[in-house]
Amino acid sequence: MEEYLQCMKTLRSQMTDVEDHAAKVSVEEQMQITTIDTLQKDLDHALSETKRLKEETDQKTRTKGELCSQILGKQRKISSMESDSANLAQSLELILQERDSISAKLVSKRSNYIKTAEEAKTKLEEQKGWFVSHMSNETGQQRQKEKSRKNLMELSDSARAKLDQAKQMRSEVIQENSKIKLSIENVKNKINDFKPELMSLDIKILEEEYTALLSDESGEAEYLHSLQSQAEKLKVTLILISLILIDNYVTIMNTFHLLQEISYIAKCGCGEKYSVGLL
């Protein structure tokens, strides 16, 4: 009986120990479960942060690529602008050279016009001397009439040839100015095709130079017109003189006094004025 009681005590003691151990194990298990949940949450948070950092890295990479692309595009634009600027500078240089060449040609043509006017004036002076010297001699009047008519016709032909030469020079000047105008229009079209950054280049200088050339052309045209008018007056006057020589000597003397009063003021494009008289 005592042994039975002793066994029961021992059993109860062991059961208590087992229960205590089970409770302790349950507590430890609960703590481990809590720890595992905490670790799982930390792991999920770490994975979320990793994903976010990866997305931010990808976004930064894309942004960097876009910036690099924009930088390359701007570099290409800068290179294109530099090339366009060089082409424009070269075109301007060619136009300036062409302007200098045209100016030199205009100066040369103006000299030719002045020389033509001087030659015409010289011939008029010679004709005047011949007319005065032969009007005082009445002998051989019929022969002198024929010679006078011939000289007058030669003088008329010479004046007509000078006029044709002046017209040809004027035509050449107009053609050259047309070429300059076409070159300026081409440069304007190139400037319109350039980038907006190049539009700040002022083309008023070209327009002013072209206007100056047109002004020179206008002056030359006015001078040519004056030469033409002078030649027409000379032609009419020579015809009148020829008719008067056929009529009689007295009428010729009256005409001579009238011709002494005829003069014409020719204005050159350079601003100089020339007084041209028939006698």
Beta bridge partners of 263: 277
> What number of other Cβ atoms are within 10 A of residue 106's Cβ?
20
The first and second tokens of residue 72, run together, are 């390359």
Q: Measuring CA to CA, which residue among 132, 156, 130 is closest to residue 234?
A: 156
Q: pLDDT for 127-162, tens place per residue?
A: 777 766 766 665 556 666 667 667 767 766 776 776
Query: Mean of the per-residue pLDDT values for the chain?
Result: 70
Q: Is residue 88 a contact partner of residue 189, using CB atoms and an 8 Å limit?
A: no
Q: Is residue 221 a contact partner of residue 106, using CB atoms and an 8 Å limit?
A: no
Q: Measuring CA to CA, which residue among 240, 237, 239 is closest to residue 251?
A: 240
Backbone angles phi, psi at 273, to 5 degrees: -115, 140
The yes-or-no verdict on residue 237 having pLDDT over 70 is: no
- DSSP E strand boundaries for the chain: 263-267, 273-277
Q: pLDDT for 79-127, tens place per residue?
A: 888 888 888 888 888 988 888 888 888 888 888 878 887 887 787 777 7
Q: What is the pLDDT confidence band of residue 29, given thresholds at 50, 70 and 90?
A: confident
The yes-or-no verdict on residue 18 having pLDDT over 60 is: yes
* Distance from C-alpha of 175 to C-alpha of 179, rounded to nearest angstrom: 6
* DSSP-derived 3-state class of residue 155: helix
Beta bridge partners of 276: 264
The first and second tokens of residue 191, run together, are 């400037």
For residue 11, what pLDDT is reported? 79
Contacts with 88 (C-beta within 8 Å, 6 or more apart), sequence order: 187, 190, 191, 194, 198, 201
Q: Mean of the pLDDT values across residues 56-66?
A: 90
* Distance from C-alpha of 146 to C-alpha of 95, rounded to nearest angstrom: 57
* Domain boundaries of the chain, sorted by first residue: 93-277
Q: Report the percent of the chain where pLDDT is more than 90.
A: 1
Amino acid at 89: A
The yes-or-no verdict on residue 264 having pLDDT over 50 is: no
Q: Measuring CA to CA, which residue among 166, 160, 207, 215 is closest to residue 187?
A: 207
The yes-or-no verdict on residue 43 having pLDDT over 80 is: yes
